[in-house]
Amino acid sequence: MATLLHHLNANTIHGQLIRYAITGGGVTLVGGGLYLALVQLTTVNEQVAMFAAYLVCVAIGYVLHSRWSFRGHGERDNPAKTTTRFVAASLISYALNAFFTWALVRGLDLPRWTPVITTLFVTPVIMFVVNRRWVFA
């Protein structure tokens, strides 16, 4: 346990990856849960559901990632720059998830819940790299 806590507190890529997995995983689960609730319990279009989930997750994600996942990484002397970059990166994340939603549900005619798979396992990996190398650099 002490080793895990050391890694969580380290500013190495490993520590950041562990913290990102915890916070990002939680945020992603919230977004996935909101998306699923909207598409399973209502007749809302899956793209509208994905956008609603995105709005909730971007607000929660910024706070958690800037204060914990990438704390101590990069320069923080310009919060407006970091916030602008985070929003831009979040739009990339949204675009990926919207594309996967369209491709899986409309393109491949798969069930409306299937985009959650890519939302949980593909987009977060891409976004870790974007956040580490550009947003919180």
- For 43-99, the three-class secondary structure string (H helix, E strand, C coil) is CCCHHHHHHHHHHHHHHHHHHHHHHHHCCCCCCCCCHHHHHHHHHHHHHHHHHHHHH
Q: What is the pLDDT of residues 66-110, one digit of tens each?
A: 888 887 776 666 888 888 998 999 999 989 999 999 999 999 999
pLDDT reading at 1 higher than 80: no
Pair 119, 16: CB distance under 8 Å: no
What pLDDT was estimated at residue 10? 54
Region of residue 74 (left: phi > 0; alpha: psi -120 to 50; beta: else)? left
For the whole model, what pTM was predicted?
0.72
Cα angle 91, 94, 100; round to 5: 145
Q: 10 with 109: CB under 8 angstroms?
A: no
